[in-house]
Chains A and B, each alone.
Chain A
Amino acid sequence: MTTLATRRQATPGGSTPSRPARRGASSVGRPGFAWALPATIFFALFALVPLAAVAVLSFTSWSGLGDPEFVGLENWKTLIADPVMLKSLWLSLLFIVLGVVTQTPLSILLGVWAAGNQRNRAVLSAIYFIPLLLSSAAISVLWRALLDPNFGIPGQLPWLFGDGNLLGTQAGAIGVLIFVGMWQFTPFHTLIYQGAAKSIPTVLYQAASIDGAGTVRQFFSITLPQLRNTAITSIILMVVGGLTTFETVLILTNGGPGTDTTITAFYMYQQAFQSFDFGVGSAIALVLVVVATLISLVVVKVSGYDKMNSSLEGL
């Protein structure tokens, strides 16, 4: 909204439209609430209502049998005193940070490369996107087999992997999960960056090369700044993805060794559906909602996403 107004006022020589007093005229270019109605209804039905139900459940004790029994703050007291809960939050944050740090540079480089017109680029890109088409469960089973300490890759490369106890140590298990996440999701983010890189006007590069800027300089001075909004979108998706990572943890490590890869989303599943404690599971779900909201707000604030301008401004 701000953007539109600013741009209109900045139009040189044009007559800046004064704020219309009557209804009707104001709705030009501003869709009414009705446009958001279908989405709002769906959101209410499938997000808000379950969320409210989960909030209610978090104050009950329920194993799935009989009626939930109101227990007040009992579940919350359990969670606050639970070392695994706090550990799971730290692990989730670690997963997010490591995910963003490993996937972002790679997908920017690949995305920019894939936006070019080199020979065989289309073929290579297509092959490269295959992991994106596989289900997380299939990917996890695949890597589980490949990483078997005795009969998989580690068994063949003992000088690199030692005894192959990758999934039996905390560092190894986290490393594997981050690597598999990268293998799976980099293609998706590459796709986003590819689209964004393709829409950067070539005039910018032409002007830059007339000014004598080389490829590297062009990348840092034109491509990267132009990809800023895309990067924020991509990072928010990674953050949400990292927070809700689940299948890979379940299949590859089952939260182990011990509780060393028990991230919050997995802990929620474990409490609700393995331990049949839906009260505590619901409380963890609420914590997850709050944390996800906070992180999103922080990302939006820090990145300036809320007042994001078009990167084509001024052209």
Chain B
Amino acid sequence: MNNRTWMSRSLAGTAVLMLGFTLAGCGGGGGDASSRPENELHLAVYGDASNKVEEAMVAKFNETSDVKIVLDTIPGADYQTKLQTIIDTESAPDIFFNWGGGSIANFVEADLLMPLDDFIEEDPQLKEAFLPSVFETAVIDDKSYGIPMRGTQPVMLFNNSEVLEQAGIDAPPATWDELLDAVEKLKAAGVTPIALGGADQWPTQMWFQYVFDRVAGEDLFQAALDGDTSVWDSEESREALGKLRELVDAGAFGTNFDSVKFTDGGSPTLLSSGRAGFELMGSWAYATHLDANPEFAENVLSYSEFPAIEGGEGDPANLAGNTNNFYSVHKDTRYPDEVAEFLKLMYSDEFVQEQIAIGNLPTTTNTEEFLDEASNPEYAKYQFDLVKDAPHFQLSWDQAYPPEATVTIHTAIAQFFSGQIDEDGFIKAMQSL
């Protein structure tokens, strides 16, 4: 064998070997409990300002427990990707943050999560201490997979009360017709009626969530989620799309909403600077404004529920948004008893107080007792009552569906708003999910 052939053969051999390793690595698969570290539980959370409370809870737990919890904060934007990458490996977290619904459906299907019903049977408070409309978001196939943590984030119609007043609008619109009327008045006053961060796409989706819910009720989306895609082609669905089209065509969002983002402060500034009258946004908008422009947040910013739609089947008290965040548990965890102990902290007074102190609104039934300690008690109470009284709380579409549907949903809603596709195009896109 001369040098050259030897060389190429060994190279080829190495390549094949490496490929074998790579593929074996891909397969992975979580090991059993014994392969996980001793006396250690890993807790993965979305890394942001709310981590303060998680740190405090972990510290409190570690004080008394022999099994210590290690808090892994993963930078927000990468959270879902990172989780999906490690959840089926030996480095999977024992407990992890999620949004319930579709964000964990794949994991349930892949048999990676532990149903928490046994925990709940032993300590019914794990279920009963939370508002039911919130708790059910993490129930899949009649089994509970998540315990609420952090706070609820309903979507509300925020407004700039000064702009509304100048345009001659006395009260926030309670019905769709009043909304259209307000749009006309605001246009006449020379401002963009509704600020919309269309470039982010998810703010556009909020309009769909509410209008579909108001027109068709909560069952249409649930049916679609359960696999009956024909509902998208129903009369109610077309009526909802017609309403949205009517609003866009009325110039409610101006013409450049596709170039505006919420995340870089574009659309909130439109509202706070008086260049727009309304913005439909999650409850975090208050904190966003408080951070950027405290005076506006405290004195001018106002809010109301999404208007009712006359003749629609949906209850006007229904909500949409992030029902809550949840802790789910990996089925291979080595210390299920300690995990159950830790989860009990999520309905403790201390947890509720800590969350309220940083502006989150936890959804335990006793939250109400602590609302006076919130940075803005009036706003906290308003929100809490909305959530408590809501007959149905629709989890955001992109989180109700598994992550693979997000791109399709976002593209379809953005294209429908900008007129790139019509009703039929939207229906076709949603039916392809």
Contacts and interface: CB of A to CB of B under 8 A. Distances in A.
A91 to B, nearest CB: 15
Interface of B: 4, 7, 11, 14-15, 18-19, 22-23, 26-27, 29, 81, 84-85, 87-88, 106-107, 110, 112, 198-199, 201, 254-261, 264, 266, 269-270, 275, 403-408, 411, 414-415, 418, 420-421
B259 A65 contact: no
Interface string A46-66: 001110110011000011111
B11 A66 contact: no
9 contacts: A41-B11, A41-B14, A53-B19, A57-B26, A64-B88, A144-B261, A150-B270, A256-B414, A257-B414
B407 A150 contact: no
B15 A65 contact: no
Nearest to B86: A64
B256 A150 contact: yes
Given A67-B29, A148-B266, A151-B266, A276 B259 contact: no
A44 B11 contact: yes
Contacts of A37: 7
A66 B88 contact: yes
Given A33-B7, A45-B18, A149-B256, A256 B407 contact: no
Given A65-B106, A257-B418, 6 more contacts: A53-B22, A57-B26, A148-B264, A150-B275, A168-B256, A274-B407
Main secondary structure of the interface of B (DSSP, over half): helix
B263 to A, nearest CB: 10
A255 B404 CA distance: 16
A257 B413 CA distance: 11
Contact of B257 (A50, A168, A275): A168
Contact of B27 (A68, A144, A149, A274): A68
A25 to B, nearest CB: 18
B418 A258 contact: yes
Nearest to A169: B258
A64 B260 contact: no
Nearest to B25: A53
B259 A64 contact: no
Interface residues of A, number: 48
Contacts, number: 127
A250 to B, nearest CB: 11
Nearest to B110: A65
A304 to B, nearest CB: 30
A253 B420 CA distance: 16
Nearest to A54: B22
Given A68-B27, A275-B403, A33 B4 contact: yes
Nearest to A57: B26
A134 B112 CA distance: 42
A273 interface: yes
A151 B259 CA distance: 11
Contact of A256 (B22, B199, B403): B199
Contact of A165 (B107, B110, B255, B406): B255
B406 A275 contact: yes
A62 B26 contact: yes
A167 interface: yes
Contacts of B421: 258
Nearest to B192: A150
A148 B260 CA distance: 7
Contacts of B259: 147-149, 164-168
Contacts of A253: 199
Contacts of B264: 141, 144-145, 148
Contacts of B14: 41, 44-45
A49 B413 CA distance: 40
Contact of B269 (A48, A151, A163, A275): A151
B22 A49 contact: yes
Given A65-B107, A151-B266, A258-B415, A274 B406 contact: yes
Interface string A168-179: 110000000000
Contacts of B4: 33
Contacts of A57: 26
Contact of B260 (A40, A63, A149): A149
B399 to A, nearest CB: 14
Given A254-B199, A258-B414, A49 B18 contact: yes
Contact of A150 (B85, B266, B411, B420): B266
